[in-house]
Amino acid sequence: MDFAVIFVIAVALGFDYVNGFHDAANSIATVVSTRVLTPRIAVVWAAFFNFVAFLVFGTAVASTIANDVVVQSVLSIGVVFAGLIGAIAWDLITFWLGLPTSSSHALVGGIAGAAVAKAGFGVLITEGLRKIGVFIVLSPLLGLAVGLLITLAIYWVFHRNRNIERLNRGFRRGQLVSAAAFSLGHGANDAQKTMGVILALLIATGHLAPGSSTPVWVVLSAHTAIALGTLTGGWRIVKTMGSKITRLQPVGGVAAESGAAITLFATSIGGIPVSTTHTITGGIVGVGAARRLSAVRWGVAGRVVWAWVLTIPGAFAVAWLTMQAVDLLS
Amino acid sequence: MDRRAAFFLAAALVCAALVPVSEGFAWVAATLSGVYLVLALGSWLDARSHRRF
């Protein structure tokens, strides 16, 4: 394996680390904002479940990223590198602004932008991009609906219980499970995107035959990188997700995380790359909407939606420019 | 109309609009659209009953 391939794999794992740093903050936002765990223990808890996700889920999402975004013949070391730079730059810009955008869609936008810069719009696979695009809209709505239905079910089951303090204590323990489930889903869906990029690179450079499955060392290194990113944490976004959209009690935390976790499990099994940010935002809004719509701070939720809309074009543009620079230099 | 019911109705319409373009996953969009329709109806009835009493 030559130096350029190793370097781009290192950049991909760097993206995975930034993804953990940027997105995994969402998975511990509710558990921290409801004071179930201290921030330090919460990141260790989330990182552990990020890592063990490889034992539970397959690599269907990795296959979608490697095969269904752009035609494989256009992929090269330069394209993958430029795509990753576009995604990382967009992630860091939105991290600096405190916006909970999607690293996943930044990656898709970045790879698409770099491929288009190299060979034009004809290299985009419309079917794959349409599937990803549809779930940009559906995943938060799915998280919202499931989060809301779980909240209603909890209210219905426990509506006769008058001992609120005891009930809250029970849900605080329950949040440990729901946070773990969400981190598991996060590790499964997000780490696989990096695996997909590395898989595409290895196929493009002839290190693997087309249609190969993801090697174990790629799976392990991607999960390690995202878990390390989670350990480092990203507190600006935790604040936005955990308290600015709606105030959460432990019962709400359980419902939001469970809704988001169910969405992530289903999409990971279905091979659909979705954003953990989108799903947990949907779950949190669902919990707020179960009480009353005014419990949701729509100004913040609207800002989040704008960030979603801009993510793919933003990462696309940065990657396009990077690809032009790579072409000039080479 | 109750704001929450209007929000759920809008979500149902968005999901319904995605059914034709969700090849292979149309059932997800259709089911979600149905769920949001039920939620919109429930929310509207809830708001209506609160107004009455």
pLDDT, tens digit (0-9, with 9 covering 90-100), for A137-186: 899 999 999 999 999 999 888 877 777 777 778 888 888 899 899 989 98
Q: Does residue A246 carry a pLDDT above 60?
A: no
Q: Which of A68, A129, A141, A146 to mutate to test binding with chain B, by most B CBs within 10 Å of its CB? A: A141
Burial tier of A158 (Cβ tally within 10 Å: 0-12, 13-18, 19+) = middle
Output the pLDDT for position A298. Answer: 64
Residue A43 clears pLDDT 60, i.e. is over it: yes
Name the pLDDT band for B10 (thresholds 50, 70, 90): very high
Residues contacting residue A28 through CB under 8 Å, at least 6 positions apart: A37, A39, A42, A43, A45, A46, A179, A183, A230, A233, A238
DSSP string, A9-57: HHHHHHHHHHHHHHHHHHHHHHHHHTTSS-HHHHHHHHHHHHHHGGGT-
Residue A168 near residue A254, CB atoms below 8 Å: no
Residue of A nearest to B30 (CA): A138
Of the pLDDT bands very low, low, confident and very high (cuts 50, 70, 90), residue A42 is confident
Query: Does pLDDT of A100 surpass 70?
Result: no
> Can you tell me which residue has the tokens 């995604």?
A87
Residue A138 is nearest to which of B3, B24, B32, comparing CB atoms? Answer: B32
Contact (CB<8Å) A127/B23: yes
Question: Could you say which of A127, A130, A289 has the minimum Cβ distance to residue B4?
Answer: A289
Alpha helices (H) along chain A: 3-33, 39-52, 60-67, 77-97, 103-119, 126-158, 164-204, 216-232, 235-239, 250-269, 276-291, 298-329
Which residues of A make CB contacts under 8 Å with B?
A: 127, 130-131, 134-135, 137-138, 141-142, 144-145, 148-149, 270, 272, 289, 292-294
- Which pLDDT score, from 0 to 100, does residue A143 have? 93
Q: What is the pLDDT of residue B30?
A: 96
Contact (Cβ atoms closer than 8 angstroms) between residue A171 and residue A253: yes
Regarding predicted confidence, which is higher, A182 or A297? A182
Residue for token digits 């060392």?
A217
Residues of B near A (Cβ–Cβ under 8 Å) read 3-4, 7, 11, 14-15, 18, 21-25, 28-29, 32, 35-36, 39
Residue-level pLDDT at A237: 52
- At A59-90, the pLDDT tens digits run 888 888 888 889 988 888 899 999 999 988 88
Which helix H or strand E contains B51, and what residues bound it?
A: helix B26-52
How many CB pairs lie under 8 A apart between chains A and B? 46
Cross-chain residue pair A134–B7, CB shorter than 8 Å: no
**Section A183-190 average pLDDT:** 88
Mean per-residue pLDDT over chain A, rounded: 83
Cα A138 from Cα A149, distance rounded (Å):
16
Interface contact B25-A134, CB threshold 8 A:
yes
